[in-house]
Amino acid sequence: MTDRKEFRDLSDPEDAREAIASLDLTPDPERVPLEEARGRVLAERIDAGLDVPGFDRASMDGYAVQARDTFGADESDPALLDLVGTVHAGAEPDVEVAEGQAAEISTGAVMPDGADAVVMVERTDEREEAAKVEIRTAVAPGDHVMLAGADVAAGERALGPGTRLTAREIGLLSALGVEEVPVRGTPTVGIVSTGDELVRPGEELTSAAGQIYDVNSYTIAAAVEEAGGEPALYPHAGDDYDEMERILREAADECDLVLSSGSTSASAVDVIYRVIEERGELLLHGVAVKPGKPMLVGRVADSAYVGLPGYPVSALTIFRTFVAPAIREAAGVPEPATAIVEARMATEERYGEGRMRMMPVGLTEIGEAPGASNASGGTASGDLLAYVVDKGSGATTSLVEADGVVEVPPDTAYVAEGETVEVQLFSPDVRPPTLLGVGEDDPALARLLDSLERPRYLSVGSREGLRRLRDGVPDFAVASAAESADRDIDADELASYQREWGLVVPAGNPEEISDLADLVDRDLRFVNRGSDSGLRTSLGNALADLADERGSSRHDLVESIDGFELAAKAHESPARKVASGQADAGVGLRATAEKLGLDFVAVGAETVRVLANPDREGKSGVRELRQVLDEELDALLGDLPGFER
């Protein structure tokens, strides 16, 4: 009588998961053309290499003007400006707008030199016979103008590693001019079905001899594709030891993972476990689970190996329970999900336009049971919080910041805070981020986020970030101490650090700028940050101190700085305008100046705080953030000039 391999001491399911997790299924990263990148997963962070849009453009049809020429204009007392030409979308302006002048402009057209605002055509009347235009409303600098980089700013973190590329992300990458994309490799999975009784579909079947068609090769191949792997079918192997060894070794040489089905039970003719023991390493044989007890885990040569049961239902059950998650992790593919989920609204959203609204929303998990399913297969109401994402129809970043839409009927005046809504996901593959952060745009934070599993960060500035944190929407906020000190925010400070800020100037400092006083006293072109930015707050505080020294007012000093009110989006934006010759100086960081090869005039140091939502401190993503801050922040700051604890 031949020896039999008996199942003794069946392993716990958790042991099987740990054994498979110990196998390295991750292929090397690769670069693919953008047109082939859909469905792939980013292997590294992609920063914007240019501003989108790359120029200041009109956001509506109207007239490009100098805003100060419209001050005081209204229906009864319009401003009368000389009409100097027309600027069309897609054409370089051939006119310049001087004081007292206006140029007709189309939506999307480049703003002509001299103009800093657009008056919508509905608030104007053109006098063709006199080549003049009446302006019946006042506008401020920047009104109806989409500044260069307002959508995506050069140097800004566009997409992080681990992002699955759908049509939304492909659109953003194409807007950035990305031609090739660094993606995770797709794990190749070799599939070998065993047993003398198996016949491939299309071949002649002899039922009298106990033959059956090979089902597992095709069902497992389809399941591998669904999990994000690339299946490779190998010839059918019988129960002959030498043939089994040959096919397994061939598959192991060519694939990241080899799956076999059949020949794993305690039978004299089942030989796979002996092949594994003699040619590799057997980690596990038999799992206490039904169906699917006969399961093998091991290594053959440099490839991972998992032996599945022979019965198709058992094989597919074991694959989906134990193997598919490992393939998804190696490929960076999220867990499958339903295309419709329920969530609670984070804040009240008023709406009264009398039209149906497809409201884009992002999702964040607020409970400790993320992904809990309700009876219909969706996520249980209360586990997800929906917040409105609406940066305007021209902003491609809205596509990747939103997870789905909420359909608001035309007769709905508002959606209440806490109201349960149905979110139509953009794709069944959409998953809420493991961590949602908002606040200050910061290079240290951009690097820190790379160490987290699947974060989403919205660079809305310190002031807006703190407002959203107070409303309870994000898991954490990043804000300057100058902003957070003045606001009553219930939050736990996870970490803080300092960054040196000042004036970024061209290489060699041709204007010999030495301090803020030069901006006030000299005719220099300056670029500022947005009003929600911590850098702008620090600059304003420094100007207030200078005003006190001079016995003047902060308002008077601000008025004397050319460009103070026209703000750029991200922390690198002012510096990049300086580098391109569009400004003599811009507010920025020492780290940015050194990165772009520019000079730097130090003004001060700004403290940046990482603040956690007190209601989310138990969330796994927040715990992960705390750990990364504790373990990696010091090393990360050491690589950035002007940053320190």
Residue pLDDT, tens place only, 17-42: 899 988 888 888 999 999 999 988 99
Say what the pLDDT of residue 393 is: 47
**Which pLDDT does position 295 carry in this prediction?**
82
CA proximity to 439, closest of 530, 538, 512, 546: 530
Q: Please tell me the predicted confidence (pLDDT) of residue 405.
A: 82
Mean pLDDT, all residues of the chain? 86
Residue 99 to residue 65: CA distance in whole angstroms: 8
**Residue 369 above 50 pLDDT?**
no
Q: Which among 74, 68, 58 has a CA at the least distance from the CA of 135?
A: 74
Q: Are strands 404-408 and 349-350 parallel, antiparallel or unpaired?
A: unpaired
Q: What is the pLDDT of residues 559-601, one digit of tens each?
A: 999 999 878 888 999 999 999 999 999 999 999 999 999 999 9
What is the pLDDT averaged over residues 211-217? 72
**Range 395-408 average pLDDT:** 75
- Residue 265 pLDDT: 45
- pTM equals 0.71
Beta-ladder partners of 80: 134
The pLDDT of residue 391: 56
pLDDT of residue 551: 94
Whether 266 has a pLDDT exceeding 60, the answer reads no
Please state the rounded mean pLDDT for residues 173-202: 85
| Spatial separation of the C-alpha atoms in residues 97 and 85, rounded to whole Å | 9
Domains and CATH numbers, the chain: 13-27+186-331 (3.40.980.10), 30-52+151-183 (3.90.105.10), 57-146 (2.170.190.11), 340-432 (2.40.340.10), 440-644 (3.40.190.290)
Rounded CA gap, 61 and 276, in Å?
72
Say if CB 410 and CB 354 are below 8 A apart.
yes
| SS3 label, residue 211 | coil
- The pLDDT score that the predictor gives to residue 619 is 92
In this prediction, residue 378 has a pLDDT band, given cuts at 50, 70 and 90, of very low
**Most confident option among 237-251, 393-407, 598-612:** 598-612
Average pLDDT estimate for 407-435: 86
Which of the listed ranges 8-17, 56-65, 259-268 does the model predict with the highest average pLDDT?
56-65
Structural tokens at position 494: 């996870």
What was the pLDDT predicted at 219?
Answer: 85
Q: In whole angstroms, what is the distance from residue 543 CA to residue 342 CA?
A: 49
Residue type, 239: D
Q: What is the pLDDT of residue 425?
A: 87
Of 112-116, 213-217, 495-499, 565-569, the range with the lowest mean pLDDT is 213-217
Share of the chain above pLDDT 70, in %: 88
Higher per-residue pLDDT: 372 or 51: 51
The answer to whether residue 374 scores a pLDDT higher than 90 is no
| Average pLDDT of the segment spanning 207-235 | 83
Residue 71 zone, left/alpha/beta (φ > 0; ψ -120 to 50; rest)? beta
Helix (H) or strand (E) holding 492: strand 492-505
| Nearby residues of 411 by Cβ (< 8 Å), 6 or more positions away | 354
The sheet carrying 230-233 orders its strands as: 230-233, 188-193, 257-261, 303-308, 296-300, 280-285
Query: pLDDT tens, 490-516?
Result: 889 999 999 999 999 999 999 999 999
Summarize pLDDT for 449-504 with one digit per residue, the tens.
999 989 999 999 999 999 999 999 999 999 998 776 656 678 899 999 999 999 99
Give dist(CA 294, CA 263) in Å, integer.
9
Checking if the pLDDT of 8 tops 60, the result is no
Distance from C-alpha of 469 to C-alpha of 458, rounded to nearest angstrom: 12
The average pLDDT across 107-130 equals 93
Which range is least confidently modeled, 112-116, 242-246, 505-509, 621-625? 242-246
Q: How far apart are CA 107 and CA 221, in angstroms?
A: 51
Residue 9 confidence (pLDDT): 62
pLDDT score, position 539: 95
What percent of the chain lies above the pLDDT cut of 90?
A: 56
